[in-house]
């Protein structure tokens, strides 16, 4: 009989996850951050959200740091994200390290080395093009991206009560746009 080396006991599964949403003023990062936080809370997660932006909001960087867990969240600020959703290029000082990055294809070539993920993958999607081609307005970029983000998180958008998460006058259109982003095929 051959002895097999002992395998280390599996460690505890990571229970706290972090997402950073990054863009510029006017892209709806604040709205998307709050919608995602409400969706995660409706799924029974403990959620901490911090949205930061400069006092001169016009064209400034807007950042949503979202941490969620099955247990109460102790630290709402994200130093290194599990997932970064980026909708606009940012200066080196505003860059975020992340294990996975989802970003708009149009900005992919404009990013500094600080935005390269630590250990993982970069997924580029044409969020702006989809918003313009399918819905006739760049105002829906954030909802196309939110749909894709929900799919990457493994959240079934068909089972969500989006009325509780999405407030505003464009509710029906936003739901259609989220579903469109959710349906982007995996590459």
Model confidence at 3: pLDDT above 80: no
* Range with lowest mean pLDDT among 1-10, 68-77, 93-102: 1-10
8 A C-beta contact, residue 127 and residue 145:
yes
User: In percent, how much of the chain has pLDDT > 70?
Assistant: 81
Let me know how many helices (H) and strands (E) the chain has, helices first: 5, 6
Q: Which helix (H) or strand (E) holds 175?
A: helix 171-182
- Per-residue model confidence (pLDDT) at position 80: 86
- The whole model's pTM is what? 0.84
Mean pLDDT, rounded, of the chain: 82
Q: How confident is the model over 121-159, as pLDDT tens digits?
A: 888 899 989 999 999 998 899 999 999 999 999 999 999
- Per-residue model confidence (pLDDT) at position 154: 94
- CB atoms < 10 A from the CB of 50, how many? 13
- Per-residue model confidence (pLDDT) at position 79: 83
Model confidence at 7: pLDDT above 60: no
């Amino acid at each position: 009989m051959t002895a097999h080396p002992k395998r280390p006991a599996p460690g505890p599964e990571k229970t706290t996850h972090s997402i950073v949403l990054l863009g510029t003023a006017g892209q709806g990062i604040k709205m998307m951050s709050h919608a995602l936080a409400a969706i995660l809370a409706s799924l029974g997660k403990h959620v901490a959200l911090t949205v930061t932006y400069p006092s001169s909001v016009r064209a400034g960087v807007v950042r949503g740091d979202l941490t969620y867990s099955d247990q109460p969240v102790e630290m709402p600020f994200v130093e290194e994200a599990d997932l970064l959703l980026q909708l606009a290029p940012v200066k080196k000082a505003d860059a975020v390290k992340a294990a996975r990055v989802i970003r708009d294809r149009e900005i992919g070539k404009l990013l500094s080395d600080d935005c390269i993920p630590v250990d993982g993958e970069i997924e580029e999607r044409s969020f702006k093009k989809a918003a313009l081609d399918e819905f006739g307005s760049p105002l829906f970029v954030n909802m196309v991206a939110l749909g894709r983000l929900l799919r990457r998180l493994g959240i079934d958008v068909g089972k969500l009560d989006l009325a509780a998460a999405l407030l505003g006058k464009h509710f029906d259109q936003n739901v259609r746009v989220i579903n469109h982003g959710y349906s982007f095929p995996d590459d």
